[in-house]
C-alpha cells in the first residue's frame, strides 16, 4: 500500500493539454507516479508505458476537439485541468505577420479559453456535490513583462495571465482553485530548440516545472496556490 506522501494524487483524475513532449510529457509521467490517472491531450499523442495515462488526440484551437477531450475526461471523473499547450514566435514588430499572430494566439489564448470553458460545467457540478476542483495554467515568466522581439509571444502570455486571474475570480464561488505557473528559461523543444545542448545546461528542466505543478495540485484543501514563479539561477533576476 502506498503512503500518502508517496502518492499524493492517489484517486485523482487530471486532464492535461500539450502532453506530447517537454514539460507536458514530463508532467504526465510525474502525475502518474504521484498516483493520478492522467488524460493526456496533444496534437500528436505520445506513447506512454502506463495504462493510467490515457493519450488522446487534441487540438486546443478546435472547439469540437476540446469538447470531446473534456467529455472523455469528465466520464473518467476529472477533478483538475492543466493547460500546458503553447507555442511561440519571435521577431521585431515590423516583421510580424497575421499568420504568426493567429498561430500563437489561437494556441496560447484561445486554447486556454476553450479548454477552461468546457471543464467549468463539471467543476460546478463537483462543487454541488461538495467536491473541490483545480485549474493550473502554465504560462511563462513573461506574463508580466516583455522584451524586444517578443511582442506576439509575450502579449499572448499577458492574455493567459488575464484568463487565469479571471478564472480565479469567477471560480471562487464554486470552489475552483486556480494557479498560474510562471517559469523562466527551460530546456525543452520550445521554439525549435534541441534539449540537452551545452549552452542550455543551466536552464530549468521540464521536471522542475512539473514539480511546481504537482505542488499546486497536491496542496492541502485549505491552501490556494495563486501562482508559482521559478527561474534557473543562471538567468538574471527579473520581475
Catalytically active residues are 153
Task: Classify 201 as helix, strand or coil.
Answer: coil
Q: Which residue has the cell 490517472?
A: 37
CA atoms within 13 A on the CB side of 178: 23
DSSP state for residue 155 in the 8-state scheme: H
Identify the bridge partners of residue 34 per DSSP, sorted by sequence position.
none
**DSSP assignments along 60-79, one per residue:** TT-HHHHHHHHHHHHHTT--
Measure the CA angle with vertex 79, ends 78 and 85; round to 5°: 75
Burial 206-219, CB ≥16 within 10 A → b, else e:
bebbbebbbebbbe
Residues in contact with 232: Cβ distance below 8 Å, sequence separation at least 6, in sequence order = 184, 185, 186, 202, 203, 204
Rg over alpha carbons for the chain, rounded to the nearest Å, is: 17
Strands (E), the chain: 13-16, 37-42, 53-57, 80-83, 133-138, 176-183, 186-187, 204-205, 227-230
Amino acid at each position: 500500500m502506498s503512503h500518502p506522501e508517496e502518492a499524493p494524487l492517489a484517486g485523482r483524475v487530471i486532464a492535461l493539454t500539450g502532453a506530447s513532449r517537454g514539460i507536458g510529457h514530463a508532467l504526465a509521467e510525474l502525475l502518474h507516479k504521484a498516483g493520478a490517472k492522467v488524460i493526456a491531450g496533444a496534437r500528436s499523442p505520445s506513447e506512454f508505458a502506463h495504462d493510467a495515462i490515457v493519450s488522446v488526440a487534441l487540438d486546443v484551437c478546435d472547439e469540437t476537439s476540446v469538447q470531446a477531450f473534456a467529455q472523455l475526461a469528465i466520464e473518467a471523473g476529472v477533478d483538475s485541468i492543466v493547460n500546458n499547450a503553447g507555442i511561440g514566435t519571435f521577431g521585431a514588430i515590423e516583421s510580424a505577420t497575421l499568420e504568426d499572430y493567429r498561430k500563437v494566439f489561437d494556441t496560447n489564448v484561445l486554447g486556454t479559453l476553450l479548454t477552461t470553458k468546457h471543464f467549468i460545467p463539471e467543476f460546478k457540478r463537483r462543487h454541488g456535490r461538495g467536491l473541490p476542483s483545480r485549474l493550473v495554467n502554465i504560462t511563462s515568466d513573461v506574463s508580466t513583462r516583455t522584451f524586444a522581439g517578443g511582442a506576439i509571444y509575450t502579449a499572448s502570455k499577458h492574455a493567459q495571465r488575464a484568463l487565469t486571474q479571471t478564472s480565479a475570480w469567477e471560480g471562487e464561488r464554486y470552489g475552483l482553485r486556480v494557479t498560474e505557473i510562471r517559469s523562466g528559461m527551460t530546456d525543452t523543444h520550445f521554439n525549435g530548440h534541441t534539449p540537452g545542448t551545452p549552452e542550455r545546461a543551466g536552464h530549468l528542466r521540464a521536471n522542475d516545472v512539473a514539480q511546481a505543478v504537482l505542488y499546486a495540485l497536491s496542496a492541502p484543501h485549505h491552501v490556494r496556490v495563486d501562482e508559482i514563479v521559478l527561474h534557473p539561477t543562471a538567468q538574471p533576476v527579473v520581475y
